[in-house]
Amino acid sequence: MTFGSRYAAALSERGRLCAGIDPHASLLHAWGLDDDVAGLERFALTAVEALAPHVPVIKPQSAFYERFGSRGVAVLERVIAESRAAGALVLLDAKRGDIGSTSQAYADAYLDPSSPLACDAVTVSAFLGFGSLTPFVETAAKHDAGLFVLALTSNKEGPEVQHATVEDGRSLGRVMLDHLRRLNDAEEPLGSFGAVVGATIGGVDGAGVAYDFGFNGPILAPGFGQQGGTPADLARIFGAANANVVASTSRGLLRKGPDTAALRDEALRLRDELG
């Protein structure tokens, strides 16, 4: 099955909540753990045990594992493998973007099944030009994996780039969505090339023109829950494409640990809230 098919099936079966597993030092301390590899492992695998059987998508943030070096990356490998074994799709939040052979090496690391870091999809940045993502696109297609391209992020610095316009007047955010529309054309039930769009954006570009999110692909909406995004915001921003949105939360959810039952129950509550 293509990633788009697996994604559509996962949302149908498990709802629309994406659980981020981001081992911030502050969260490790809040769980009574040391900020070291042992604490990282206990934190991350407890979260996997509690969440991966119940949500459609697990999203580990690579940086919080990389900061511990090779031993931290080894923990990330276990998070990926055990989450997938529990039936969740794994979206690695790595936000990679480069050119040529370097881009290909990143694609092989995260999307080739022979890699110990292989996952279902990865976040990527196209701000070296959308064509720079060609190795990612081709590798994802070869291995039935997916991409989530940064398009309209909710950080306050984002608009200076994402609302900038090209010669034909389109904003760069709109350009990203148009590229995805072409990649996903005629794919059923859904294309495999998605966008990252914040759950708290206004839904319009710098000129006040509403975005069209009907690009026939998955949408990752960070910022749900504690960061302020609500189900009403998702419906307002995405309209008819809201059914393709998986809303992401991490710290707000993870603060319910280390009790696995509390983590699971909060995830189920948020999943039900999303509908």
Task: Report the distance separating Cα 151 and Cα 168, nearest Å.
Answer: 18
95, 142, 156, 256: which is the annotated catalytic residue? 95
156 catalytic per annotation: no
Helix axes 37-51, 70-85, angle to 10 degrees: 10
Q: How many Å apart are CA 14 and CA 65, to the nearest integer? A: 27
Handedness of CA 93, 99, 103, 105 (dihedral sign): negative
- Look-up: residue for tokens 């948020």? 270
Would you call 207 helix, strand, or coil by DSSP?
coil
CA-closest candidate to residue 126, choices 169, 90, 179: 179
Distance separating alpha carbons of residues 201 and 86, to the nearest angstrom? 32
Catalytic residues: 95
